Amino acid sequence: MNNNTRNRVLRTLLHNQRRTVNDLAEAVDINPISVRHHVTKLEAEGLIQSKEERHGVGRPRLVYSLTNKGMEQFPQRYLQLSLRLLQQLKANLSEKVLGDLFQDLALEIARELTQDVDLKDLTLEERLQLLQEVLTAEGYMINLQEEEDNYYIVEASCPYHHIGEDHPEICIIDQELIAHFISTTPERVECILDGDKQCKYRIKKTKEEE
């Protein structure tokens, strides 16, 4: 297998979980037949996994994601350690204490990211634009959408995907991080861990913004 193509397929799945053959073909700029050949080999090596997913009418489609072994092809050697630490925390702490711990962690991260910014002087739209800039710089793939009464924060990838599969409560970190920027709790309407293609949060516009 061409190592360059192999790495591009793996890296695409690192940043964009749950991708079809056609998605991968478009991302790495080769035809779907060649991609199918590559993913078959990667799956045989245990680096990626496939799962059937319903998508409208017709036969289910196959979507691909990295396995833990696939994740370890990148400089993320702390995955197994993180999983074990979380297992120990859940075994020894109550659900409330663990939730409070994640909230405190999210708040600490948010404060670090906004230590040079006075959020109270910003409009909601300005806060959201700042949030997009900050999270993009942190490695998120994030888009900001606007509709008549709402803003939407869309995350094309989940930074905690492989941890969240076993510990979905970690999603509270993103939710609390967003809440710190906008001073209200966003509504999560889509989640990759629930089988959606993206994570999506809805924020109602203020009267001034409408």
62-93 confidence digits (pLDDT tens): 989 888 778 777 755 556 777 788 889 889 98
- What are the residue ranges of helices labelled H in the chain? 3-15, 21-28, 32-44, 68-71, 79-92, 95-113, 124-137, 161-164, 172-182
Q: What is the pLDDT of residue 128?
A: 93
pTM score: 0.62
More confident position, 83 or 200: 200
Mean pLDDT (the chain) is: 84
**Can you tell me the distance from the alpha carbon of 192 to that of 161, in angstroms, rounded to the nearest whole number?**
8
| Token pair in block for residue 69 | 């072994």
| CATH fold label, 3-71 | Arc Repressor Mutant, subunit A (1.10.10)
The predicted model gives 89-117 an average pLDDT of 87
Share above pLDDT 90 across residues of the chain, in percent, rounded to a whole number: 25
The answer to whether 175 and 160 are in contact (CB under 8 A) is no
Looking at domain 79-204, its CATH superfamily turns out to be H-NOX domain (3.90.1520.10)
- So where are the chain's domains? 3-71, 79-204
Structure tokens at 27: 């991302």
